Amino acid sequence: MTHPPAGILDGLRNMGLLRPDAGAQGEALAGGVSSDIWRVALPDGRVICVKRALEKLRVAADWRAPIVRNRYEARWLARAHEAAPQAVPALLGQDEATGTLAMEWLPPERYPVWKERLRHGDVDPAFAAEVGRRIAAIHAAAARRPDLAMDFPTDKLFHAIRLEPYLVATARAHPDLAPQLVALVARTAATKLTLVHGDVSPKNILVGPEGPVFLDAECAWWGDPAFDLAFCLNHLLLKCLLVPGVATCLMVCFEALAASYLASVEWEAPAMLEARAASLLPGLFLARIDGKSPVEYVTEEAQKDRVRRVARALIVSPPDRLKTVRAAWGEEIGA
């Protein structure tokens, strides 16, 4: 245990969680690409989690994002907690001056990270289905409240930390696909339906005693819910290269998550949302190889070429069903 940085302590004081004359002990947590994340023990005995947004993300590319995103992450947590209390940690406070937020601490021995479970071959389609149901519940609740859109004026932020580093950057790497990828950017940016998390990834989902818990909504945006669905399904495709021994089970998870999500869609025709997700997914698939944020576990060129081969074909001939993407990748890897 050590003293957290001054900015985090100042933020806690500004939130009223720490007296002006008091200090606190804590430990930095690993894994933060876009934020400093600390487990902090307050003088009153409470243990909390504190995040402070970074202006320059910890990736190889020069990738910067305004720290004001911390404000919108806090707002997403509050709205998601109203829709599905068990699906998010409780928000304890947020301070814009320091770009920090405080939330409930969820101990890792009770709330392991889904990515680590998958990495070790612990693959549960029922859990994947619940991920789909819970994110759809949050989407559905927000879609009933279009007034929330004014609380998330984050179009430029979402472009800076999602559309540009993923799809626009990939268009630069594959100029022959630029028209299709730029069209995906335009369509996604123009679709305004509900509150989107923006980073629904196994690394941001905890396996809680009562089901999945979503973290890290730094990309919160009022926009296209198909982005969240495609973004999460993309990781299940990619994990087949990380743990090939359970690739078939991962594809069952893909099917379970997609089916449970689509069964919960009530704000539009499920087939319309599925068509957007299915055509966006190949672009995101390729982006995790040739965009600004490549997945760290796909390092061999032969593996990268497998992704490129499947993704490029699907971008040229966009699917309107998710099962088409699943079938193309399954054929490539024998799953």
What pLDDT score was predicted for residue 67?
63
DSSP letter at 268 equals S
For residue 155, the cross-strand partners are none
Residue whose tokens read 């054929």: 331
For residue 39, the cross-strand partners are 27, 49
What pLDDT score was predicted for residue 98?
87
Measure the CA–CA gap between 104 and 94, rounded to whole angstroms. 12
- Asked whether 280 and 228 are in contact (CB, 8 A), the reply is no
Measure the CA–CA gap between 330 and 185, rounded to whole angstroms. 26
C-alpha dist (Å) from residue 231 to 165, 196, 201: 14, 11, 7
Q: Is 104 helix (H, G, I), strand (E, B) or coil?
A: strand
For residue 205, the cross-strand partners are 214
What pLDDT score was predicted for residue 317?
98
- Low-confidence stretches of the chain (pLDDT < 50) are none
Measure the CA–CA gap between 105 and 50, rounded to whole angstroms. 9
What pLDDT score was predicted for residue 70?
85
Domains of the chain (ranges; CATH) run 6-104 (3.30.200.20), 114-333 (3.90.1200.10)
The rounded radius of gyration (Å) of the Cα atoms in the chain is: 19
Residue 275's identity, in one-letter code, is: A
Structural element, H or E, at residue 70:
helix 69-83
Give the CA angle between residues 120, 126, 128 to the nearest 5°: 65
Measure the CA–CA gap between 197 and 216, rounded to whole angstroms. 8
What pLDDT score was predicted for residue 171?
98
What pLDDT score was predicted for residue 129?
98
What pLDDT score was predicted for residue 43?
93
Contacts of 179 (CB under 8 A, 6+ apart): none
Residue whose tokens read 């998330």: 152
